[in-house]
Structure 1
Amino acid sequence: MGRNQVYCCICGGPFLESGTRENEPGEWLCHPTLWTTVHNAKDGPESDMYKWELGMHTYLPYDLVDPVEDSQRRVLEQEATYQEHNMFLISESGEKVPAFHVVGNESALYLAAHGKCSQLVQRFISSRPETHDVFQISDKDEISSVKQLWQVIFTRIPASGRGFAYNVDHPTRYYGITSLHLTEWEPDNNPLAGECVEADPIEVPQLTECILDNLELYVPGIRSEATSTDLEDQDRGYNKLINKKELPWLWDLDEDVVRKKQRTGDWNWELLVDKLSGTDIYRPEDETLRLPLGLRNRRRIWKCIEDARLGDIQRQIGPPLLGFAVPMEGNLWDGYTPKSQQPTL
């Protein structure tokens, strides 16, 4: 059997060993960050200790050893290097730790995420109209702080007193890619999915130009199901694209390039914004827009973050997942219906 591959708790993509993808697609997967929680103590910040207990017939979920007021706690992010077999080397301290697992009866607990996924989390939080720097969160609310995202992911961790957990489940299976969660990352098993996951979601070359290549000419008097014939609506569509409030994942859109494009003719901005707001553009096979895979991957990860809800999956109680997921039937990119999209009873 090959090694056990570890997967990011935000995007579901693999961690690759440093130096294996230099100047190649997937290089961004070689840069993890570890999240842990600390609290204020007399001599400075101290790591929160987590514990596991054996119940009547099964392991109970992880819990804090000595809870303190949430106002005294924060999430600490540390750069690290992936070693393999669920071990990470913290860059600053040189300490080697596992992710998603309490060592012994009690220890610090670390969540493993890609550095660029952490950046996307910060971008998402900065786009929220209000932020709440607390761990408490309603099961109906979107996350508005790193603390709240920690709490959501913490409730997804498969609890166990032995062995390691190599991945953390997601209500949509990270939009299908957990079917590729094998003992070792092998993107050739599904090249389309593998290429999309490995595409850098932050550094997207020619992002603005690629989006504008999808513009269609505005034809007065011709109305589609998605667009209006009103010139004022086209102006509103243009302003939505420029303001980015409805498309916050396009924070790096070059406004000057967009303004220059506007001056070159009458364009159907409303239709473009409508397509960019589509629910399926993260899929690499989507044909509504021509987009680079990095931007599709960004949209997929952004959806994973905005879908996060407290209690959105049932904890796995008992033996941990050993890096495997049950292959999905149907379209690779389909998953469970996230709690955020389920009807309210």
Structure 2
Amino acid sequence: MGRNQAYCCICGGPFLEPGTREDEPGDWLCYPALWTTVHDTKDGVELDTYKCQLGMYTYDLVNLIGDSQRRVLEQEATYQQHNVFLISESGKKVPAFHVVDNESAIYLAVHSQCSQLVQRFISSRREAHDVFQTSDKDEICSVKQLWQVVFTRLSASGRGVASNIEHPTRYCGIASLHLTEWEPDNNPLVGECVEADPIEVPNLTECILDNLEADASRPRSEETSNDVKDQDWWFNKFITKKELPWMWDLDEDVVSEKQHTGDWNWELLVKKLSLTDISRPEDETLRLPLGLRNRRRIWKCIEDARLGDIQRQIGPPLLGFDVPMEGNLWDGYTPKSQQPAA
């Protein structure tokens, strides 16, 4: 039936083979990295080993060591074909998202750009804890915690060769394109958005300021106006990016120059930019470049990550592990036992 396309477990976008999109939209999808866990030993650093549990769709850690000795290792790689990646440093070819021969290391495949967004997100947190443990209610605050979240999603995906990992929000609506091959033409608008670079967004500041509307509430000359003071407060929130940490590369000089050219409704702009629906390419709330919409979508995927957010248990029915479910395969549905009574 053809190849099995592999997809990033952070953004849900495809990995493209090197050289297929050079200097074209989608080029950023050609640069993967592999995450795996390692631990310190007296002889140096060793890969953690995971094994399959007979009759269960889960993986267990073989190396029973303290979490303080474990960390996530990121390695540059290139995408080969199907679900195979070539580690740049060692030249070793490895699969992603599953163990080999019932016991091996596990590699999670991510885009290099998505890894950068993860680091940006963690830096934006007030506190960052370099630990694996995380609450099922709190946002992640370390790469270790995100690894743990994704790993628990992997355990819900089943054994065998996997080309992607399920996500509770279908990667904010793009999982419909998770096909045997990446075929963005099946939904051109969404496909074009996924292929837009989320890090390097040309004219980002200017594009955002094009949405700025005049503040018609009070004339600027009335210095005692509370409305004017309120707009200054919203301007400061905008330029310091406290409300919008995903816009870290906003050009503050350009924004300050704009502030002095008229009376602007900064409150309305900030509130519109705070809406998560602006990540959708068809959303008409603001005129935004697709790269920025894609960034906001990926940021939300990271922002929403919670331990155990794939609330289901899968097992062979004959062994008695099956749990009645409702919902569609990609919707992150919950067991009936956990659903509220009608």
TM-score, normalized by the shorter chain, greater than 0.5: yes
Partner of 1:188: 185
Q: Relative to 1, partners in 2 of residues 1:23 and 1:51: Cα closer, same or farther, differing over 3 Å?
A: same
Q: CA RMSD in A?
A: 2.3
Structure 2: state its 5+ residue gaps: 220-224, 317-327
Consecutive aligned runs of 4 or more in structure 1 exceeding 3 Å deviation: 158-162, 314-319, 335-338
Q: Would you say the 8 A contact 1:16–1:30 is kept in 2? A: yes
Name the CA distance, whole Å, in 2 between partners of 1:217 and 1:60: 57
Which position in structure 2 is the counterpart of 1:261? 258
The 5 Å alignment of 1:45-56 reads: 45-55=45-55
5 Å matches for 1:92-107? 92-107=89-104
Q: Aligned residues, how many?
A: 321
Post-superposition offset of 1:108: 0.5
Q: Percent identity?
A: 77
Q: Are residues 160 and 196 of structure 1, via their aligned partners in 2, closer, same or farther at CA, if it must alter by over 3 Å?
A: closer
In the other structure, the counterpart of 2:9 is: 9
Tell me how far apart the structure 1 counterparts of residues 164 and 329 of structure 2 sit (CA, whole Å). Answer: 15
The one-letter code sitting in structure 1 at the alignment partner of 2:149 is: V
Question: Whose helix fraction is larger, Structure 1's or Structure 2's?
Answer: 2
- The alpha carbon displacement at 1:158 in A equals 4.3
Residue 137 in 1 paired to residue 155 in 2?
A: no
Normalized against structure 2, the TM-score is what?
Answer: 0.89
SS in 2 for 1:126: helix
Q: Quick one: which of 210, 213, 230 aligns to 1:213?
A: 210
SS at the partner of 1:174?
helix
After superposition, residues 1-345 of structure 1 pair within 5 angstroms as 1-55=1-55, 59-158=56-155, 163-220=160-217, 230-314=227-311, 317=314
In the alignment, the residues of structure 2 paired with residue 217 and residue 121 of structure 1 have an alpha-carbon distance, to the nearest angstrom, of 35
Deviation at 1:337, TM superposition (A): 9.1
Q: Deviations over 1:56-95 (max 9, x none)?
A: xxx2410101221111000000000001110000000000
Structure 1 spans left out of the alignment, 5+ residues: 223-227, 320-325, 329-334
Which amino acid in 1 is paired with 2:112? G
How many angstroms apart in 2 are the aligned matches of 1:327 and 1:128? 32
Give 1:161 shift. Answer: 7.9
Tell me the distance in 1 between the aligned counterparts of 2:185 and 2:121.
31
Equivalent position SS for 1:15: coil
Taking CA–CA contacts closer than 8 Å with sequence separation of 6 or more, which of the two structures ends up with the larger relative contact order? Answer: 1
Deviations 1:200-236 (A, max 9, x none): 00000000000000001111259xxxxx971111011
